[in-house]
């Protein structure tokens, strides 16, 4: 006599988990996009602060700032490329203020 549960019981558990957790999580993320984005930004900022403070102990500040700037420019260009909006249409006056 085996104590293993039949496969259909595990499939039922998985279906219940999908309905109760995954579906509600999707609704929560859709309803609170701004809050999720803010929490994500705060978490990434905290993690990057820890990483850069540890790197700052071994790398000279000028090199570290140049490295961070290169990463930022690369990610900005990648974002513009992926959005297919490399040269956005900006009015001349605000562009000159930049």
* Most trustworthy range by pLDDT among 16-30, 34-48, 75-89: 34-48
* pLDDT of 5: 59
Taken in order 84, 72, 94, 35, the sign of the CA dihedral is positive
Residues 31, 43: Cα–Cα separation, whole Å: 20
Q: Which residue has the higher pLDDT, 12 or 79?
A: 79
5: left (phi over 0), alpha (psi -120 to 50) or beta: beta
Q: Is the pTM of this model over 0.85?
A: no
Report the pLDDT averaged over residues 58-67.
91
* pLDDT of 10: 65
6: left (phi over 0), alpha (psi -120 to 50) or beta: beta
């Amino acid at each position: 006599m085996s104590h293993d549960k039949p496969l259909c019981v595990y499939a039922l558990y998985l279906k219940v988990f999908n309905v109760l957790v995954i579906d509600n999580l999707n609704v929560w993320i859709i309803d609170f996009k701004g809050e999720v984005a803010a929490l994500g930004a705060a978490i990434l900022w905290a993690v990057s602060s820890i990483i850069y403070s540890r790197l700052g102990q071994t790398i000279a500040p000028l090199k570290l700032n140049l490295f961070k700037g290169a990463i930022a420019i690369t990610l900005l260009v990648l974002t513009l490329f992926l959005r297919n909006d490399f040269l956005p249409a900006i009015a001349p006056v605000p562009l000159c203020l930049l």
